[in-house]
A and B are shown apart, each in its own frame.
Chain A
Amino acid sequence: MVKKKLVLSFPPRLTQQPVTYDLIRKFDLQVNILRARVVPRERGRIVMELKGSAKDIKAGLEYLEEQGVQVDPMVQEMRHYSDKCVQCTACTAMCPTDALTIEPVSREIIFEPSHCIMCESCIAACSYGAMESQF
């Protein structure tokens, strides 16, 4: 089993296409939608976690690309700028998935992108602009 967190961006014409359903039915993938923004006549974006065999995931991703869906790894979507961060830890109370935690001895912030579901709760909590979303 392989797990992948991805950001799917698709042109407006694809909003009618049930790509999620296809990923499940045709490629036997477990799809967990973490976040989505689909507005009529606008470019849509979905953050999802895919779970399945390496072979199925590869085939699923190829299918998405054939459809014209742009697939990016999620890592770059949320950024923690350590030069702006003052290690106040306000963000850690807002983070629902422990993507932002505190190193217990140094009391510094650790950002683990693989835990991040891009809920963006940390952005309002940060007074120093140290968290930025590209979503």
Chain B
Amino acid sequence: MRSLEEINDKIKSGKVVVVTAEEVVDMVKEQGVKKTARMVDVVTTGTFGPMCSSGIYFNIKQSTPKIKCGGGRVTVDGVAAYAGWAAADILLGCSAMTDEDPRNAVYPGLFKFGGAHVIQKLVSGEKVRVQVRTYGTDCYPRKEYDAELGLEDMNNAVLFDPRNAYQLYNVAVNLSERTIYTYMGVLKPRLGNANFATCGALSPLLNDPKLRTLGIGTRIFLGGGEGYVVWPGTQHVAEPERDEKGLPLTPSATLAVIGDLKGMKERYLRAASIAGYGSSLSVGLGIPLPVVDEEVIAYAAVTDQDITFPVVDYSEAYPLGRPGALGRVSMAQLMSGSVEVDGKKLPTGGLASRARGREVALLLKERIAQGTFLLTRPSAALPGAELAPGL
């Protein structure tokens, strides 16, 4: 139909036609798959929500005398960081906490300040306090380091998320007699509410359910800046069960992503203090889908009515690892404000923000239309996937 090179040429000449994954739904309804595929070059997707498997690594400029962080102990604003490699590389996960934080000793814990909050401070332009205590060597004699550093003071600062952009996620409910505090939010007893964590028909991996157009090396919108898919995410499932439209029914794809933290924005990288659970990072992530054949459009035309999620009890089934769901509900039902589970009507609450996911998709669309974001050809498919023949 059209090659990736042709799409990029159109982007450079300003003639590219880009629509979001929400906009493409109506186009296909009105004009069909074939016509839409002829008109549209790129479909942009977007999501925004807590992605706990997120973190940063950064490299500090050496002081005189030099210091070897590796093997020592490092905190950033009091939050425990990891420095178990060379002299000046420091890794900070979004869920890390300060030693003083009571965590859930005072239940439910508030988790007011963790790694995610440090990351948000950095992207908002604030400085953070890096403290190192280590042993001295002949080549790195210094044993202590204490400095206020901003992103501009670091040699490198990189967002690296081993598992983001879940293709399919559970809808969480609580069958027990007490309120529970989970990464899926506060769940009221006796099926008091149902929480979901997805952008549905706008979600990146639900618009290309078989991962035909993206893979290792795909350039993406990440945290307001640019990033890349670098690997399958941890817990990636290559061959999930699928429905007749190719949508996954069981746990499926995830992505490992990376990007320059220095180009990112606070609006799309937000610290979340999840009551009773921990600190997490909400990431804005968008993937452009090149329309190399009609199938790309057929899949991207997925609607909120099509997508269904398993309803899982988070009071027992989830923590004890018991299989089985309480049924399935569609994204459209979840967005209506209530779903029916076990004959009871439950109010629904989101963890992912459709409004901000839409912002991501629109911003990515704008960048492509303005010629500042070019598409990349994946260097390899993700496990279980086969790239579209045109790629």
Residues of chain A having any CB pair with chain B under 8 Å? 86-94, 102, 106-108, 121, 124-125, 127-129
Instruction: Return the CB mask of B89-108 against A: 1 if under 8 Å, else 0.
Output: 00000000000000000001
Chain A hits for B186, CB < 8 A: 90, 94, 121, 124-125
Number of interface residues of B (CB under 8 A): 33
A124 and B350 contact, Cβ closer than 8 Å, known pairs A87-B356, A94-B186, A108-B355 = no
Q: Find out whether the CB atom of A92 lies under 8 angstroms from the CB atom of B349.
A: yes
9 contacts between A and B (CB under 8 A): A88-B49, A88-B350, A90-B351, A92-B349, A93-B193, A93-B348, A124-B276, A125-B185, A127-B280
A107 to B201, CA, bound (A): 14
Given A90-B195, A94-B186, A94-B188, answer yes or no on A125-B353 (Cβ-Cβ < 8 Å).
no
**CB-nearest residue of chain A relative to B199?**
A107
Q: B188, B275, B350, B358: which contacts A89 (Cβ < 8 A)? A: B350
Q: B195: which of A86, A93, A128 is its contact (CB, 8 Å)?
A: A93
Task: Assess whether B347 is in contact with A93, with CB atoms less than 8 Å apart.
Answer: yes
Chain A binder among B266-274, B293-301, B320-328, B379-387: B266-274
Q: Is B51 an interface position by the 8 A CB rule?
A: no
Q: What are the residues of chain A within 8 A of B353 when measuring CB–CB?
A: 86-89, 107
Residue of A nearest to B273 (CB): A127
Residue of A nearest to B197 (CB): A88
Least CB distance from A50 to B in Å reads: 29
Question: Are A107 and B193 touching (Cβ within 8 A)?
Answer: no
Which chain A residues lie closer than 8 Å to B193 at the CB level?
A: 93-94
Of B272, B354, B355, B356, the residue contacting A127 (CB under 8 A) is B272
**Which among A87, A90, A128 is the interface contact of B354 at CB below 8 angstroms?**
A87
Given known A93-B349, A128-B270, A128-B272, contact A106–B194 (CB-CB < 8 A): no
Which B residues are CB-close (under 8 A) to A87?
353-356
**In the complex, A107 Cα to B181 Cα: how many Å?**
24
- Given A86-B356, A89-B353, A107-B355, also A127-B50 (CB < 8 A): yes
As a 0/1 sequence over residues 325 to 354 of chain B, the CB contacts with chain A under 8 angstroms (1 = contact) are 000000000010100000000011111111
Q: Once bound together, how far apart are the Cα atoms of A57 and B325, in whole Å?
A: 54
- Residues B162-194 near A (CB distance < 8 A): 181, 185-186, 188, 193-194
* Interchain nearest-CB distance for A127 vs B (Å): 4
| Complex-state Cα separation, A107 to B49, whole angstroms | 14
Cα A102 to Cα B334 with chains together (Å): 12
Q: How far is the CA of A62 from the CA of B335 in the complex (A)?
A: 47
Binding site for A on B (CB under 8 A): 48-50, 108, 181, 185-186, 188, 193-195, 270-276, 280, 282, 335, 337, 347-356, 358
A86 pairs with B270, CB closer than 8 A: yes
- The dominant DSSP class at the B interface is strand
Across-interface contacts of A127 in B (CB, < 8 A) = 50, 185, 272-275, 280, 282
* Contact partners of A94 in chain B: CB under 8 A: 186, 188, 193, 349
Residues of B within 8 A of A106 (CB): 355
**B282-A86 in contact (CB<8A):** yes
Q: Which of chain B's residues have a CB closer than 8 A to the CB of A108?
A: 355
Chain B proximity of A118: nearest CB distance (Å): 17
* Cross-chain contact B48 with A86 (CB below 8 angstroms): yes
Tell me which residues across on chain A come within 8 A of B356, comparing CB atoms: 86-87
CA distance A121 to B188 in the complex (A): 10
4 closest Cβ pairs, A-B complex: A93-B349, A127-B272, A89-B350, A87-B355
Contact B194 A88 (CB under 8 A): no
Closest B residue to A108 by beta carbon equals B355
Task: Note all chain A residues with C-beta closer than 8 A to B351.
Answer: 88, 90
User: Nearest chain B CB to A94's CB is how many angstroms away?
Assistant: 6
Nearest CB of chain A from residue B390's CB, rounded to whole Å: 34
Q: How far is the CB of A38 from chain B (nearest CB, A)?
A: 25
Q: Which B residues lie within 8 Å of A125 (CB)?
A: 185-186, 275, 349
Please pick, from A86, A92, A124, A128, the residue contacting B347 in the complex, using a CB distance under 8 A: A92
Query: Would you give the shortest CB distance from A43 to chain B, in whole angstroms?
Result: 25
Most chain B CB atoms below 10 A, which of A91, A124, A127, A128: A127
Task: Give the Cβ gap from A100 to chain B, nearest Cβ, in Å.
Answer: 10
Q: Which residues of A contact B280 (CB under 8 A)?
A: 127
Q: How far is the CA of A102 from the CA of B369 in the complex (A)?
A: 30
Nearest-CB residue, chain A, relative to B355:
A87
Known: A87-B356, A94-B186, A94-B349; 14 extra A-B contacts, CB below 8 A, are A86-B48, A86-B356, A88-B350, A88-B351, A89-B354, A90-B349, A92-B337, A94-B188, A107-B354, A124-B186, A127-B275, A128-B270, A128-B271, A129-B273
Asked if B181 contacts A93 (CB within 8 A), the reply is no
Question: Within the complex, what minimum Cβ distance (angstroms) separates B34 from chain A?
Answer: 29
